[in-house]
Amino acid sequence: MTRISLGGTPVGNGLQELLMCDAIVPGEQPSYQMCKVILTLHPIGAKMAEAPIKLAQSDKREIAIPDSPEERCKEAFQKEWEAIGADKIIRNTMKLSRAYGVASVAMLVDGVDTNAPLGSPALPLEDLWKKDISFNVFDPLNTAGSLVLSQNPNAMDFNKTSGSIRVNGSTYHRSRTRIILNEEPVYIDYTQAAFGFVGRSVYQRPLYPLKSFVQTMITDDLVVRKVGVLVAMLKSPGSIIDNVMSKIAGIKRAILKEAETDNVISIGESEKIESLNLQNLDAPYTIARKNIIENIATGGDMPAKILLQETFAEGFGEGTEDAKYVARFIDGIREEMAPLYNFFDMIVQRRAWTPDFYKLIQEDFPDQYGKMTFAAAFYRWANSYTAKWPSLLKEPPSEQIKVDDVKLRAVIALMEVLMPNMDDENKIILIQWGCEQFNELKLLFQSPLILDPDAMRSFLEEKAEQLKEAQKAGNAAASETPKPPKPFADSATARELRESVAALAPKLPARVIRDAQERVQ
């Protein structure tokens, strides 16, 4: 009989050493090394730290620069954004922040001291596009000692980061760094994983169920090992088994072990062969494993569906309650990433919209930018720059088409109301606005509507001149037209006829007189 012992023997790797340790009890705080092991080795560790960030970045931000040659500026911005790998750097910073409780990112410039402020004579903003730059992401061990945070309640920097960090004796100016905390600091609550009174690791609260999850992995391995066991119920030959009978029983077991599909074996009438019955493990083990994962998700303050890898019954587009909860959670992650995105937006703008790039814009748009300085144009573009995250809850195409149809009808109705009461110049502005709204309806119309405002302006001016000339010609013709003749009833002939009829009235029948009067009238 084989015996399997899980304790009492030396373990072979960090995950077993840390998560199967009896010292880990509910409420235990993970150390820096323990967080690193969970992040790198635990099956759920990387998912807890990185999966929400990947889900938040699954859609690109919708960038708009309305007060600029928009497509050209957006293309240059996106090209530089991808060149420096901003999305990857942000994801790595957020992942380490969630794993340890704090993380930092700093910009290094070749040949410039790390403590030189961004915008100083040593590092002018307008010359940033010329520099060779790099970005380093630091975990708490790299910045140990510089992010302890003050615990003096009367200090200006109480539980606040100064913005600057110190790494291996080099100080980085706060204008070139961004520090991200996972959760807010708590007074006199030292975080072992982050070496300071800072945020907390996402592994801190669910540390005990993370240990329990490793036990489920061991159970999976034991079940897989045992699921192929065959139980041979052989008839005992008697109380005394001689060598011959013992060899016969061994031969039967050997035949059973080697038997495969398409083989035929024979057994005794009262003998049976069955597999090991593990069906009673299914329900309790499945429930226990699911509860452990849900406890991990609860402790990590995140939806359990992200860890369970369950699909939504109707998907994000149907707006179910589970999908809405996950969408709200991801919106919160995006808000936490905002300082990093703002930091990289500023740097990428300086490196994408360069003086050389502006010269090309001046050549292509001489009327608008021919006399404008580069500095004025840059700040004009930067001030109009906006970036918004698309909603994680996406409606199916059929519903999106209905929404676009409603928007189109609203645009048409507004133009029909305003157009009759507007002057020509404002009509052109309204038409341009209508074209922009029309071109946003990509599901209804694939090809953009492009109108020439100068041509419209010339057409309206010509039409106005033609109308003035027609009015002048109409007035002249009206002055030369003879007056229409008076009606016959008011003429002298009619008066004479009426007098004649009145004189003959006594001599003629009444019917004849009445008929003559009607004719005169």
CB atoms within 10 A of CB 211: 22
The domains of the chain are located at 18-229+276-393, 488-520
Tens digits of residue pLDDT in 188-203: 999 999 999 999 999 9
Nearest C-alpha neighbor of 90 from the set 330, 336, 292: 336
Tens digits of residue pLDDT in 455-512: 878 887 888 788 877 777 766 666 655 555 556 556 666 666 667 656 666 655 666 5
pLDDT on residue 319? 47
Tens digits of residue pLDDT in 203-216: 999 988 888 888 88
Tokens of 186: 């708590």
Pairwise CA distance, residues 328 & 391, whole Å? 10
pLDDT on residue 29? 87
pLDDT on residue 6? 39
- Pairwise pLDDT comparison (76 vs 292), residue with the higher score: 76
pLDDT on residue 10? 41
pLDDT on residue 494? 63
Pairwise CA distance, residues 58 & 235, whole Å? 64
Measure CA 468 to chain center: 56
- Does 48 have pLDDT greater than 90? yes
8 A C-beta contact, residue 348 and residue 84: yes
Specify the DSSP element, H or E, that contains 492: helix 492-504
Tens digits of residue pLDDT in 224-282: 776 666 566 666 655 555 666 666 666 666 665 665 555 566 665 666 666 556 666 66
pLDDT on residue 515? 67
- Does 97 have pLDDT greater than 70? yes
- Does 432 have pLDDT greater than 90? no
Maximum average pLDDT range among 111-125, 219-233, 279-293: 111-125
| Arithmetic mean of pLDDT, 285-295 | 83
Half-sphere exposure of 467 (CA within 13 A, CB side): 6
pLDDT on residue 500? 66
Pairwise CA distance, residues 174 & 291, whole Å? 44
- Pairwise pLDDT comparison (286 vs 304), residue with the higher score: 304
- Does 375 have pLDDT greater than 90? yes
Tens digits of residue pLDDT in 304-327: 888 876 544 444 544 467 788 888
Whole-prediction pTM value? 0.71
pLDDT on residue 386? 94
